[in-house]
Amino acid sequence: MCYNARMTPGALILGLAIVIAQAVALFWLSRGVLFGYVMRTLAARSARPAGRRLINLLRLPGNLLHEVSHAAAYLLSGYRVRGLATCWSDPEGRGYVEAGPPWSPLHWGPLSAALSCAAPLLVGALSIHALGSLLGIPLPALDLTAEGVGPAAAATLTGAWRLLTHVDPLAWQTYVFWLLAFSIGAEMAPSGSDLRQGCVMLAVLVLLVAIGLLAVPQMELRPDRAEALLAGAAWLLSTLSTALFAGLIGCGVVGLLPAGLAWALRRAGGPRAPGRSRRPSATSPRRSGRRGRASDRTSRPAPRR
């Protein structure tokens, strides 16, 4: 990972836009493909209790990380955590975090909701990056904020191919990474309720950060302090970009086999007749029309007390 400590505010704004684009792409890959397509397909065809338990077991590492990241965001933003359950312990098979009263006089509900909304995606990407390093998986680390569009696209394809061709199929580390990366990737996207509670405030925070970066040259700061502020922002964007890139490559490559399996199951099973589906209540991501994801109860109620 490398970054330019002397980046201008304009370059930092471009880097912020790149990080946001990476986060949106990872959100789509996690929620739209790994969870929305693969997990729902497996859940819809697991009518037996053993099959439902197997799916919940597969989801458990990522779901636990998802809920713990919510809880950590609440605690760091001044709120207690009243309760936490994973998909395994929640009777509805969803998982949730229930925020309690504030523990700190410095707290604000909308800010806490925004941090809680972003926490699973960022923590999930960092976890996949760390997991690859720990297990010796050749997961590429690339700072897209320091690259042009062409080199970044080429590096993305090269990184995915390297991950596919340079893993040892006989090593246990390969299968541990594959299972954990798939579980984390399928559960890292914010749920519907997370987005409803924190999306607007999160967008406001990003806008304020962008305005702050543009305003640095206008502030009456000593040159060394202004340079340190911009260097810190560059380092943070570089770190986020590197982690998100690793998450994108890891989730994308790891999801190829499950996505192919889900496609084959759908082709073999054919279309389901309306009203005759036997989706398991403990694992189905569509228990009701207003809950589109298995952890939609996450972070509810919002800490606005």
185-237 per-position pLDDT tens digit? 888 888 877 888 888 888 888 898 888 888 877 777 777 788 888 888 888 88
Q: How far apart are the first and last CA of the chain?
A: 41
Higher pLDDT, 183 or 225: 183
Percent above pLDDT 90 for the chain: 13
Residue 130: inside a domain, yes or no?
yes
* Amino acid 153: pLDDT: 67
**Of 269, 261, 260, nearest to 47 (Cα)?**
269
* pLDDT tens-place string over residues 72-89: 999 999 999 999 999 888
Residue 66: inside a domain, yes or no?
yes
Given a cut of 50, whether residue 298 has pLDDT beyond it is no
Given a cut of 60, whether residue 294 has pLDDT beyond it is no
Residue 235 CB partners (closer than 8 Å, separation 6+): 3, 5
* Amino acid 86: pLDDT: 92
Higher pLDDT, 289 or 131: 131
Domain with 93, as residue range(s), is 9-219+227-267
The length of the chain is 305
* pLDDT tens-place string over residues 111-130: 898 999 989 988 988 898 88
Residue 149: inside a domain, yes or no?
yes
Given a cut of 90, whether residue 139 has pLDDT beyond it is no
Average pLDDT, the chain: 77
* Amino acid 80: pLDDT: 94
Given a cut of 70, whether residue 146 has pLDDT beyond it is no
- Cα separations (Å) of 288 from 92, 152, 194, 212, 285? 11, 40, 17, 42, 9
Domain count, the chain: 1
* Amino acid 7: pLDDT: 65
Residue 146: inside a domain, yes or no?
yes
- Which whole number is the average pLDDT over 236-262? 81
pTM: 0.75
Residue 173: inside a domain, yes or no?
yes
Higher pLDDT, 233 or 45: 233
Residue 136: inside a domain, yes or no?
yes
| Residue 125 to residue 241: CA distance in whole angstroms | 10
Given a cut of 70, whether residue 21 has pLDDT beyond it is yes
Is the preceding peptide bond at 301 cis, omega within 30 degrees of 0? yes
**Of 111, 70, 120, nearest to 206 (Cα)?**
111
Residue 290: inside a domain, yes or no?
no
DSSP-assigned states of every residue in 68-137: HHHHHHHHHTTEEEEEEE-TTTSTTSS-EEEEEEESSSS--HHHHHHHHHHHHHHHHHHHHHHHHHHHT-
**Of 240, 263, 259, 241, nearest to 251 (Cα)?**
259
Given a cut of 50, whether residue 172 has pLDDT beyond it is yes
Residue 280: inside a domain, yes or no?
no
Q: Which of 176-185, 214-223, 253-262 has the lowest mean pLDDT?
A: 214-223
What b/e readout covers 103-118, taking b as 16+ CB neighbours within 10 angstroms? Answer: eeeebebbbbbbbbbb
